[in-house]
């Protein structure tokens, strides 16, 4: 069965600092991987996704993630944090063998200090 | 891009009553929709897979008689919480993907905050 582990339930950075949110996955087949952002009382917004091809994926709002098969990781980064980046971030893997349903990590709350 | 509309965005109901939540794919057809539940400060938990024209597939531990799912058309799935109790209070979110994008194109609704009093 596929699973996702996000290291760190809460990450705090200063405005302008590097953002690094960690995600490791477990999958017996080549996975589809996703990062979503959620603001309070809202649904999920897709930041970026990896399906096939280039392992460095660029998303919205300056975020990017790199698929590293050897490390089973898909960490999310942003060079310079902005106050508006403060939110909950979820890493997910698509269970292609189960109709494509998404398996989510536990989430990481990102705080940005002025 | 694909848009999923969820309604209502919030609802308060009395204990023992039923509440219906709608999930619509606005600009694409969705043969499959997913329903998730999210408790405060927690991740999304898949409740069920809604299949157009057939019965929903429920995840282990989810009461199918309590959470009724109907997927009567290619653009609409509904989740009805029957005989709601305070412990059913939660944030419910649906998602769907255009057939052309398959498992890589899921879009989420804006969620429904259910409070049972």
Give the integer Cα–Cα distance in Å for B12 and B26: 26
Q: What average pLDDT does range A50-70 have in this prediction?
A: 94
Q: What does A26-85 look like in DSSP terms, one character per residue?
A: E-SSPPEEEEEEE-TT--EEEEEEE-SS-SEEE-GGG-EEEEETTTTEEEEEESS--GGG
* Eight-state DSSP code of residue B110: -
Q: Which residues of A fall within a CB distance of 8 Å from B42? A: 106-107
**Structure confidence at residue A99 (pLDDT):** 65
Does the pLDDT value for residue A81 go beyond 70?
yes
Q: Which residues of B fall within a CB distance of 8 Å from A46? A: 106-107
**Structure confidence at residue B94 (pLDDT):** 95
**Structure confidence at residue B97 (pLDDT):** 84
Q: What average pLDDT does range B74-99 have in this prediction?
A: 94
Using DSSP bridges, classify how beta strands A10-14 and A108-113 pair: parallel, antiparallel or unpaired.
Answer: parallel
Backbone CA torsion sign across A88, A94, A98, A100 = positive
Residue A111 sits at the chain B interface (C-beta within 8 Å): no
pLDDT tens for B1-54 read 789 999 999 999 999 999 999 999 999 998 889 999 999 889 999 999 998 888
Residues 70 to 109 of B: which have CB under 8 A from any A CB? 91, 93, 95, 97, 102-104, 106-109
Q: For residue A98, name the pLDDT band (cuts at 50, 70, 90).
A: low
**Structure confidence at residue A42 (pLDDT):** 86
Task: Name the nearest CA neighbour of B44 among B82, B84, B94.
Answer: B94
Rounded to the nearest angstrom, the minimum Cα separation between A54 and chain B is 15
Does the pLDDT value for residue A1 go beyond 80?
no
Task: Name the nearest CA neighbour of A109 among B50, B56, B41.
Answer: B41
Picking from A45, A101, A105, the nearest residue to B49 by CB comes out as A101
Does the pLDDT value for residue A11 go beyond 80?
yes
Size of interface A-B (CB pairs under 8 A): 55
């Amino acid at each position: 069965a596929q699973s996702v582990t996000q290291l760190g339930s809460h990450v705090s950075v200063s405005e302008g600092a590097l953002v690094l949110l960690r995600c490791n996955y477990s999958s017996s087949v080549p996975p589809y991987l996703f990062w979503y952002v959620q603001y309070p009382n809202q649904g999920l917004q897709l930041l970026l996704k990896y399906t096939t091809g280039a392992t460095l994926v660029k998303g919205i709002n300056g975020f990017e993630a790199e698929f590293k098969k050897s490390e089973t990781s898909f960490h999310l980064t942003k060079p310079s944090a902005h106050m508006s980046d403060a939110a909950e971030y979820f890493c997910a893997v698509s269970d292609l063998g189960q109709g494509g349903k998404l398996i989510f990590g536990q989430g990481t709350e990102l705080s940005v200090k002025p | 891009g694909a848009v999923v509309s969820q309604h209502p965005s919030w609802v308060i109901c009395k204990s023992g009553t039923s509440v219906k939540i709608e999930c619509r794919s606005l600009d694409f057809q969705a043969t499959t929709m997913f329903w998730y539940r999210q408790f405060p400060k927690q991740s999304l938990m898949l409740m069920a897979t809604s299949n157009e024209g057939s019965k929903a597939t429920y995840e282990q531990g989810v009461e199918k008689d309590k959470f009724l799912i109907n997927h009567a058309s290619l653009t609409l799935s509904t989740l009805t919480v029957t005989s709601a109790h305070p412990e059913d209070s939660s944030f419910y979110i649906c998602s769907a993907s255009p057939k052309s994008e398959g498992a890589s194109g899921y879009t989420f609704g804006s969620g429904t905050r259910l409070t049972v009093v």
